[in-house]
Amino acid sequence: RSHDVLFPRQKNSLPHKSSLFTPGDEAVLSLFTAILSSMFKPCGHSDHFESPHPPPQYWLSLPICDEVVLKFERAKVRARNVAYDTLPVVIHGNGPTKLQLNYLGNYVPTAWTYENGCGICDDDLLFFSDVPELPLVYVAVFIERATPFMDEFLHRLTTLNYPTARIRLFIHNNVVYHERHIQKFWERHRSLFPDALLVGPEENLQEGKARTMSVTVCVCVCVCVCVCVCVCSGLWNVPYITQAYLIKGSMLRSKLSQVSLYVDEGTDPDMVFCRSIRDQFVCPEEINPGTVEVMNSVCVQGVFMFVSNRDEFGRLVASTSFNTSRLHPDMWQIFDNPVDWKEKYIHENYSRIFEDDKTFVEQPCPDVYWFPAFSEKMCDHMVETMEDNGEWSGGSHKVTCSPVHLFICSPVPLFTCSPAIMNFVVRYRPDEQPSLRPHHDSSTFTINIALNRKGIDYEGGGCRFLRYDCKVESPRKGWSFMHPGRLTHYHEGLPTTRGTRYIMVSFVDP
């Protein structure tokens, strides 16, 4: 195997990147001897080392990674050998310690510092304004297991900040449940991706072979490849990537053209991919491995994989608890995928009520606050889930317990977060329960959210607060009333005269 080295450009400094050399201990020894002899000659050292192991203050091998730490100095970073308490100027890594060498190269000497941040992130940038035509990007999407928020993900493909005329789409769907999502997406947006290739579960194509197929198609047509569109800010050399990554098309057509990137019996495709990338070795044949001529020619083992967190490119979803047997399984993702859940099910203006309450919070009656809470989709899915459940109570109230566990965070300063242990949906119909007689709620305060529209889904309805003789007769879908539950706000549900009215109620801090 080849050896990796971090070596200084100037005395007493470390390099900004690692160089990789040809196999053979004798070549590495010759190279290091030449480097160190030249480096230390001004300090009185002889032209050549008699020992193959230079003094520890100059030399650091990486057999034990725990002995190497980063030392952050002003505007630069050094590698510290804790075993000798030294700051070596040459670092040697071999075998599995090459990954540790790549890690050190993410920082030393100025790749990333606290003072200046990333020192290499703006190197070799491609400015779209400098090219006559944008690169062709091949987007390959692999749906190998049931995944939440699929509709939202597919929609994002149509809103990428990149012209769809320069995008070629490949979708491999191996999940029967998602066929309806793919079909709906294709019916709406096929004009954006006329050359798209879709492979469904009926093809019975395994993930590794599907990924190989996507790369094969890409090599034939693409200039650039984007696969699977999946706290320090910078650019990081990493040994493993998965889910979402971008590959340069020329790399696939040259160094990786003869490599099995995804298929290896008994190994996951992502592990096969990263191992295949790391294990590549390319070196010019004319170089004599026994001389220091290797210094002036790059011999590469491994294609580096980088992660950039300078921009927010998106996020991955957790799918382990995704249960497709439910009517709307995305509703149960509130804890596993809270950001996606909020985007889909919470009203777009909900967060703004805490920033501008005069604009987004109304007060139709004394101490009754009215504000946006649920999205249209949340209201629809809640009603459909309740009707699908069908276990409406047979008592004086047509009530079914909500299947979604909710904890309503109170905006009242007295409470940081108040538990809502009584959450239910109420159904009003003229032939069942058209209204609700005057009553107090068993709560400190009550949340009451309208789930459908007056004048479209039903007529009548509303709420009357008897003490103030104040009515709210036109509730808005997805908007919430919040009012005290006891003492001051004795209230009643006004009769529903046509259709079906649904509301969701939470008794907060009962």
pLDDT per position as a tens digit, 67-108: 888 999 988 999 888 888 888 887 777 767 778 888 888 998
Same domain, yes or no: 165 and 310:
yes
Query: Distances from the Cα of 123 to the Cαs of 111, 173, 303, 308, in angstroms?
Result: 11, 37, 18, 13
Q: Which of 205-214, 218-227, 466-475 has the highest mean pLDDT?
A: 466-475
Same domain, yes or no: 375 and 237:
no
Residue 494: inside a domain: yes
Candidates 342, 403, 405, 402; CA nearest to 375 is 342
Reported as a pLDDT band with limits 50, 70 and 90, residue 27 is low
State the chain's mean pLDDT as an integer: 79
Same domain, yes or no: 109 and 141:
no
Starting at the edge strand found earlier in the chain, the sheet holding 470-472 runs 436-439, 491-493, 463-465, 470-472
Candidates 109, 60, 116, 52; CA nearest to 86 is 60
- Show the DSSP H helices in 222-364 as ranges: 249-253, 269-278, 338-345, 357-360
Examine the pLDDT at 407 and tell me if it is beyond 50: no
| Average pLDDT over every residue of 473-496 | 93
Q: Are 355 and 349 in contact (CB under 8 A)?
A: no
Q: In angstroms, rounded to a whole number, what is the distance separating the alpha carbons of residues 162 and 185?
A: 19
Q: In angstroms, rounded to a whole number, what is the distance separating the alpha carbons of residues 95 and 114?
A: 30
Same domain, yes or no: 352 and 469:
yes
- pLDDT for res 336: 94
Q: How many CA atoms lie within 13 A of 370 on its CB side?
A: 14
Same domain, yes or no: 179 and 67:
no
Tokens representing residue 27 in the block = 């070549």
When comparing pLDDT for 35 and 98, which is higher? 98
Same domain, yes or no: 269 and 383:
no
Q: What percent of the chain has pLDDT over 90?
A: 43
Give the list of residues 6+ apart from residue 471 with CB closer than 8 angstroms, or none. Answer: 462, 463, 464, 465, 494
Same domain, yes or no: 109 and 164:
no
Same domain, yes or no: 110 and 143:
no
Query: In 202-242, at which residue ranges do the beta strands (DSSP E only) sit?
Result: 224-227, 235-238
The residue range of the domain holding 212 is 121-283+299-317
Q: Which of 149-163, 166-180, 196-210, 277-291 has the lowest mean pLDDT?
A: 277-291
Same domain, yes or no: 83 and 137:
no
- pLDDT for res 491: 95
| Average pLDDT over every residue of 232-254 | 85
Neighbours of 225 (CB within 10 A): 26
Q: In angstroms, rounded to a whole number, what is the distance separating the alpha carbons of residues 67 and 232?
A: 23
- pLDDT for res 146: 96
Please state the domain count of the chain: 3
Same domain, yes or no: 103 and 141:
no
